[in-house]
Structure 1
Amino acid sequence: MSDDTDTPNIEPNESAEPLRRAIGERYLQYALSTIMHRALPDARDGLKPVHRRILYAMSRLRLTAGGKFLKSAKISGDTMGDFHPHGDQAIYDAMARLAQDFNVRYPLVDGQGNFGNIDGDNPAASRYTEARMTVFAEALLEGLDENAVDFRDNYDGRLEEPEVLPATYPNLLANGSSGIAVGMATNIPPHNLNELCDACLHLIKTPDARDDTLLNFVQGPDFPTGGVIVEPRDSIARTYRTGRGAFRLRAKHHTEDMGRGQWQIVVTEIPYQVQKSKLIERIAELIQTKKIPVLADVRDESADDIRVVLEPKSKNVDPDVMMNMLYRNSDLETRFSLNMNVLIDGRTPKVCSLKEVLRAFLDHRREVLLRRSRYRLEKIDHRLEVLEGFIIAFLHLDRVIDIIRYDDDPKAALMREDWSRDHVRARDEADYVSPQPGPGELSEVQVDAILNMRLRSLRRLEEMELKRERDALMLERAQIEDLLENADLQWGRIAEQLRETKKIFGKDATYGPRRTQFAEAAEVEDVPIEAMIEREPITVVCSKMGWIRAMTGHIDLTRELKFKDGDGPRFIFHAETTDKLLMFGANGRFYTLLAANLPGGRGMGEPVRLMVDLPNEAEIVDLFIHRPDGKLLVGSDAGDGFVVPEAEIIAQTRSGKQALNVKVPFKAHVCTPVRGDHVAVVGENRKVLVFPLAELPEMTRGKGVRLQRYKDGGMSDATTFALAEGLSWLDPAGRRRTETDLAEWIGKRAGSGRMAPRGFPRDNRFT
């Protein structure tokens, strides 16, 4: 008997499989669903399922471009209930975006009410707004009722929805698209429809055209908010050739002359997908933090059009230099990344080139043309069949009337009758010529049409009209058959349709002219910020608690100043607004402050920790004016240190620049300018050691080398001096004392030293 103890108990309607495989299969299904039905657009009509379903629902509600508006809540509700069961708010957000002319180059929805604005304000609730389709949306739906595309069941099988729209123009490139799927994403900018039609016509004429050749027609993106593209042409060509790349986009501006040498910059177009309110907030923040000291003010004077005014601090500032700084520090210049990842034939995700996307659209247009032609052929055949029946009825009118009047089942009788024999005499030889015999039996379609015919149609004139209509239909049928058999005729018809689209939506139309222009990014020489600042004397004051301020002018350094309760002076020195200040923290990092950016001296100042990322537990070791060619001696209380050039410790960010590496419980303790040829070190044990400066290494970062050896305690202070001039300090009485005979204290680096000379200060400090 076999052992079944390891076999799980499985119900008859359940199955067992490894967890890894079960999760893998289900996640793959989720990923495919996200890629195909949510995130990536179809290359043929350029739409995602939610947008396609919104437009189809609006067409079913007959919301044509010239028709009535309908509440957005009704539109989103019908879309959700019939085709897209993913929440009415998500549907309304997608529909509102299709109506925003600052987001969509060719709006597909005509909105009435508040649909948001370029400042970033959200649309009003769906119950307050109304919408209908635009002519661009109608062009996407043209031919939908002529079997132009395949339909599939909706989510619950009650209705059918189109798999793709016929799309008379390349909407994918015209309006662009963006989305994030599982493991892939897409980001396609809008383009000019007139240029796209020209590129398609060239591709029809020259199927093997290269992507670079197509750029003679499609210059580049054409954003709804305008702007100026400053990307080099070879970079644009490479982007369209590979389907991946980026475009540098700048705001459009001009300089306004205010008279008397005064001027201001006026921004009239901002980069795509930049919210104007946040852009202005960012520029105002740059002014407040003085990161762009040449900019005095920013004002939003926009009404229907964008007008953002940038006011310089001085008329002597170069406008190009100021704009170049704004480009680097704000969204007046952005980079739009292109990732042309789309669904080919609605199923296969692929990163396509410009040519591949246009080819997918043209192949789709050919398929739509063939399907519509076959549909029209079926309609013509049906109508010709009906017309043949009508003509037979006119030729044998009396017999038809007799059957209808006296037969119990006229339909069956008409179908049984042999109409090849002439059952009636000519009505009048003068005005009626006996026709040729009929084809024989009538079909059910013909009989139904005869029985439904109105009495008023039984006229001689109607018979002539029927024959003319039959002849016209026969001619059209022959033309359609020729079209279906000849590829050249098909491409000729598609080209004709594209020319018609170009005529309607081209450069002379409302949305036709190109909005985004091209220019070369002028290389403006970087000017140091301090060169743009007016040079004025200031007095820098920093308290023991780290509150810093800049007093106007060079005040008396012994003057009594006001501080917060429990606080007092720590650093006070004369400087100028063009100076850079270096602050050394107990964590071994140097922080850079611009003197021009310090708060004014009217109040108590501001905490320096709001300006730089100095940890609360790290004290300020020193604060001084930066000397570009100077050097510093830095050391920790453990007795380690080295020499560092000041030019190597200038920090460009708030986080500062690490120089002296220290480990807990030790801290950075000394920072002093290098002057002379010897180093003097004093420890907490009051022993002094003097050794040549040449024994210290020059580094930019590290722990350093041992300056003095201690059995107990650590280093109290260190300084540099010229041996010939002697070592000086302040004695307890405040008098300056200089010791020139230092033979007793001179030794090798890392020695323990000798007890300090008589009169050395009790705080073990040289200064």
Structure 2
Amino acid sequence: MTTEPDDPKIEQATSAEPLSRAIGERYLTYALSTIMHRALPDARDGLKPVHRRILYAMRELRLSSTGGFRKSAKISGDVMGNYHPHGDAAIYDAMARLAQDFNVRYPLVDGQGNFGNIDGDNPAASRYTEARLTAIAETLMEGLAENAVDFRPNYDGTLEEPVVMPAAFPNLLANGSSGIAVGMATNIPPHNLHELIDACQVLLKAPDTPDDALVDIIPGPDFPTGGVIVEPKDSIRDAYRTGRGAFRIRAKWAVEDLGRGQWQIVVTEIPYQVQKSKLIERLAELIQLKKVPLLADVRDESAEDVRIVLEPRARTVEPDVLMGALFRNSDLETRFSLNMNVLIDGRVPKVCSLKEVLRAFLDHRRDVLLRRTGHRIEKIDNRLEILEGFIITFLNLDRVIDIIRYDDDPKRALMAEDWGKPHLRAASEKDYVPPPMDGEGELTEVQAEAILNMRLRSLRKLEEMELIRERDALMAERAELDDLLADPRLQWKRIGKDLAEIQKQFGKSTPTGARRTTFADAGEVEEVPFEAMIEREPITVICSRMGWIRAMKGHVPLDSEVKFKDGDEGRFIFHAETTDRILLLGANGRFYTLLGANLPGGRGMGEPVRLMVDLPNDSEIVELMIHRPGDRLLIASTAGDGFVVPSDEVVAQTRAGKQVLTVKDGVRAALVRPVKGDTVAVVGDNRKLLVFPLSELPEMAKGKGVRLQKYKDGGLSDATTFVLAEGLAWKDPAGRTRLEPDLSEWQAARASAGRMAPRGFPRDNRFT
């Protein structure tokens, strides 16, 4: 049977609304779910839902810190089946991280088996590993059985789970947290628990303590991998005051003397969340690419601890200089961003300061204390009610026994009996004086049920006195609890006492409680230029026409015979040093920079220069020259446009080079020459020569330039600069130097056509 489109049932099941509103509402629902149930931690216990459910499931499995281990697959399966309807792989990854002492400052899970390592290796499969709770994790859940927090139904309504943990210590700051939500993120580093509790004690005594005073107690993060924080103190204060900032972390290192003047550097602690294996690979890459010439070798001698050995190139190298270069070029120095974006009361995301986070924890502890106290009072009242019934039984033992023996409904009879006056005891007990009875009248149902369930062995004088003592003790405890509920000062004092117990159990006096991350001044490591790290040696740079480049050791004769690949020939050869920067001008008008120390050796044919810089295949090399700081260069295109550029402006910092001369289709860079003198000489393909003052050329950092010489056909062939008073020199076809002292015939304004070159000018239209 088909339903007609105008069926009223369809009209009731559908509704019309704008697409933008529908998408907006649904995306907002998704965003809120991500923020509240996945990415951001709760400020009260510092846990995300997945971590909270893992710990609660392990508690339900009775995996205490002193008990046995259970398979991780069992734990993740229970979490997924009972509380967290997501993938078991994600649950196991979250649980494994809680067991990694290089990721978590105070591990909440005690793992047995392969749970990964600092090299970045993944944990073994969940069927191979086992886990249980740690002692500090158990303190997070103290009070769950005492109505300390609210519970809510799980995802299918068959069980209940805690909304938040009671949290006996500030776990949010102690272990840190990170997550990315929709439109917001959080990144909180771990801190030292002893320092956090000291700060809490200060806030308990002086709630108005400013953030700057708290930073004196908590100087900065305490990472599980140690390291050295080199962030300035003022920057740390600003970060904790605003909830946003960053910390610079460096590896901890020391110089190890090998005798006879030899030494090596040993790194014993690396920055937080840096994978040691990738760090070693990066250091090896720096050696291979010669980016840190002072470093000769790196070895990983780590076992249970971290030990990375760095060998210098020579014994004369300064350790501070070497480490300064490595800090700039590797993850031996990193930055950890601080973004304390947390959920306040589990509902409102907010970027909090250090004081606000600690205040949220303390307020939560007060709520937990009040709820646990109320729960304890309720238990005491229930026990006192039963004790009163027991005491009535002992004071009226014979009557109680008669009722139980002969009455058809002893429970109803016990409740209906008037116990206002105790019945006489046996004659053998006439010397025993019973204590005065506080409660008189009828028994309650609870008391009657307890009396009927009483064991016969309990009907002794000694048991009666024990009940009296228990009742008195409970009455005294209840009075103390009533005072506690009525006086906020006693409440904060009790919270401080509980924190002191946690500090004693997990503080700096314990093996894992001492601070691991230290502080230092970043200025201790000298910042030096790259060239200062290179040993200065003479080299001879050779580049072929096809772009194969090499550097031979020493200054070999420039006219010596050099071998090239078949079909290739030499084009550039000049003397330089390893500390020199080599400038390469491509036909595309871009300058590229090579370092003499990084050029391939003279053995063999060298390497293609296009492997070192991003020079396009269709752009040939126009010029290869040494960079001289402070010089000026004349650069021109084949169209006859050019300008003067400072040599320091053409040095490129990346492989992509630096665009200096702007060229369009059909035009390419023609030349670059060092400026020497006060006059420019330009010759075109038409052999017309033009001489004009250098002052007519602008000095620019980049651009197309101005017209040097006017052409009808062809373009620029060559250009040079010289001192007009000394004349213009060139080599004639016979190789003899010819000097033209009087250039008045060729002198004209810039952008003129010029006149034919003098007799004897080279046929290739080149000045050199």
1:703 is the counterpart of 2:740: no
For 2:378 and 2:426, how far apart are their aligned partners in 1? 35
For 2:429 and 2:110, how far apart are their aligned partners in 1? 63
Answer whether contact 2:116 2:123 (CA < 8 A) is retained: yes
Corresponding residue number in structure 2 for 1:553: 554
Corresponding residue number in structure 1 for 2:145: 145
Change in CA separation of 1:468 and 1:605 when aligned onto 2, cut-off 3 Å = same
Corresponding residue number in structure 2 for 1:515: 516
Answer whether contact 2:323 2:525 (CA < 8 A) is retained: no
Once the two structures are TM-superposed, the CA of residue 523 in structure 1 deviates from its matched residue by: 5.3
Corresponding residue number in structure 1 for 2:311: 311
- Of residues 380-389 and 392-401 in structure 1, the stretch that sits farther from structure 2 once superposed is 392-401
For 1:216 and 1:759, how far apart are their aligned partners in 2? 83
For 2:294 and 2:493, how far apart are their aligned partners in 1? 60
Corresponding residue number in structure 2 for 1:722: 723
For 2:133 and 2:166, how far apart are their aligned partners in 1? 16
Once the two structures are TM-superposed, the CA of residue 614 in structure 1 deviates from its matched residue by: 1.8
For 1:519 and 1:613, how far apart are their aligned partners in 2? 40
Corresponding residue number in structure 1 for 2:136: 136
Within 5 Å, give how 1:419-568 maps onto structure 2: 419-423=419-423, 425-433=425-433, 439-522=440-523, 524-568=525-569
Once the two structures are TM-superposed, the CA of residue 423 in structure 1 deviates from its matched residue by: 5.0
Change in CA separation of 1:323 and 1:16 when aligned onto 2, cut-off 3 Å = same
Once the two structures are TM-superposed, the CA of residue 531 in structure 1 deviates from its matched residue by: 3.3
Residues 334-354 of structure 1, C-alpha deviation per residue, up to 9 Å, x if partnerless? 121111111111111111111
Matched position secondary structure for 1:428: helix
For 2:43 and 2:398, how far apart are their aligned partners in 1? 60
Residues 67-94 of structure 1, C-alpha deviation per residue, up to 9 Å, x if partnerless? 1111111111111111111211111111
Corresponding residue number in structure 2 for 1:713: 714
Answer whether contact 1:426 1:434 (CA < 8 A) is retained: no
- Of residues 587-596 and 127-136 in structure 1, the stretch that sits farther from structure 2 once superposed is 587-596
Once the two structures are TM-superposed, the CA of residue 154 in structure 1 deviates from its matched residue by: 0.9
For 2:177 and 2:257, how far apart are their aligned partners in 1? 40
Matched position secondary structure for 1:198: helix
Change in CA separation of 1:210 and 1:722 when aligned onto 2, cut-off 3 Å = closer
Corresponding residue number in structure 2 for 1:646: 647
Within 5 Å, give how 1:158-177 maps onto structure 2: 158-177=158-177
Once the two structures are TM-superposed, the CA of residue 740 in structure 1 deviates from its matched residue by: 4.1
Within 5 Å, give how 1:251-266 maps onto structure 2: 251-266=251-266
Matched position secondary structure for 2:585: strand
Corresponding residue number in structure 2 for 1:288: 288
Residues 82-124 of structure 1, C-alpha deviation per residue, up to 9 Å, x if partnerless? 1111211111111111111111110000011111111111111
For 1:277 and 1:427, how far apart are their aligned partners in 2? 89
Corresponding residue number in structure 2 for 1:298: 298
Within 5 Å, give how 1:292-691 maps onto structure 2: 292-423=292-423, 425-433=425-433, 439-522=440-523, 524-691=525-692
Matched position secondary structure for 1:621: strand
Corresponding residue number in structure 1 for 2:208: 208
For 1:485 and 1:531, how far apart are their aligned partners in 2? 72
The structure 1 segments of at least 4 consecutive aligned residues displaced by more than 6 Å after TM superposition are none
Residues 368-392 of structure 1, C-alpha deviation per residue, up to 9 Å, x if partnerless? 0110011011111111111111122
Answer whether contact 1:717 1:764 (CA < 8 A) is retained: yes
- Of residues 29-38 and 715-724 in structure 1, the stretch that sits farther from structure 2 once superposed is 715-724
Corresponding residue number in structure 2 for 1:105: 105
Given residue 78 of structure 1, which amino acid in structure 2 is its aligned partner?
D
Given residue 702 of structure 2, which amino acid in structure 1 is its aligned partner?
R
For 2:94 and 2:323, how far apart are their aligned partners in 1? 35
Answer whether contact 1:577 1:596 (CA < 8 A) is retained: yes
Change in CA separation of 1:296 and 1:742 when aligned onto 2, cut-off 3 Å = same
Given residue 351 of structure 2, which amino acid in structure 1 is its aligned partner?
V
For 2:307 and 2:704, how far apart are their aligned partners in 1? 55
CA RMSD of aligned residues (A): 2.1
Change in CA separation of 1:692 and 1:500 when aligned onto 2, cut-off 3 Å = same
For 1:405 and 1:650, how far apart are their aligned partners in 2? 109
Matched position secondary structure for 1:195: helix
Residues 569-624 of structure 1, C-alpha deviation per residue, up to 9 Å, x if partnerless? 12112222222211111121222211111111112212212222222222111001
Matched position secondary structure for 1:161: strand
Once the two structures are TM-superposed, the CA of residue 747 in structure 1 deviates from its matched residue by: 2.1
- Of residues 429-438 and 251-260 in structure 1, the stretch that sits farther from structure 2 once superposed is 429-438
- Of residues 751-760 and 261-270 in structure 1, the stretch that sits farther from structure 2 once superposed is 751-760
Once the two structures are TM-superposed, the CA of residue 142 in structure 1 deviates from its matched residue by: 0.6
For 1:537 and 1:238, how far apart are their aligned partners in 2? 50
Residues 695-751 of structure 1, C-alpha deviation per residue, up to 9 Å, x if partnerless? 222222121110111122221222223344444444455555444454443322111
TM-score (norm 2): 0.95
Once the two structures are TM-superposed, the CA of residue 666 in structure 1 deviates from its matched residue by: 1.0
For 2:433 and 2:676, how far apart are their aligned partners in 1? 129
Percentage of identical aligned residues: 76
Structure 2 gap segments, 5+ residues each: none
For 1:378 and 1:370, how far apart are their aligned partners in 2? 12
TM-score (norm 1): 0.96
Answer whether contact 1:150 1:163 (CA < 8 A) is retained: yes
Matched position secondary structure for 2:255: strand
Once the two structures are TM-superposed, the CA of residue 240 in structure 1 deviates from its matched residue by: 1.3
Residues 640-679 of structure 1, C-alpha deviation per residue, up to 9 Å, x if partnerless? 0012221222222222222211122211111122233332
Corresponding residue number in structure 2 for 1:245: 245
For 2:733 and 2:400, how far apart are their aligned partners in 1? 138
For 1:137 and 1:690, how far apart are their aligned partners in 2? 86
Answer whether contact 2:614 2:655 (CA < 8 A) is retained: yes
Once the two structures are TM-superposed, the CA of residue 431 in structure 1 deviates from its matched residue by: 4.3
Within 5 Å, give how 1:193-204 maps onto structure 2: 193-204=193-204
For 2:735 and 2:167, how far apart are their aligned partners in 1? 91
Corresponding residue number in structure 2 for 1:95: 95
Change in CA separation of 1:9 and 1:740 when aligned onto 2, cut-off 3 Å = farther
For 1:129 and 1:332, how far apart are their aligned partners in 2? 32
For 1:119 and 1:13, how far apart are their aligned partners in 2? 56
Change in CA separation of 1:210 and 1:403 when aligned onto 2, cut-off 3 Å = same
Given residue 500 of structure 1, which amino acid in structure 2 is its aligned partner?
E
Corresponding residue number in structure 2 for 1:275: 275
Once the two structures are TM-superposed, the CA of residue 682 in structure 1 deviates from its matched residue by: 2.1
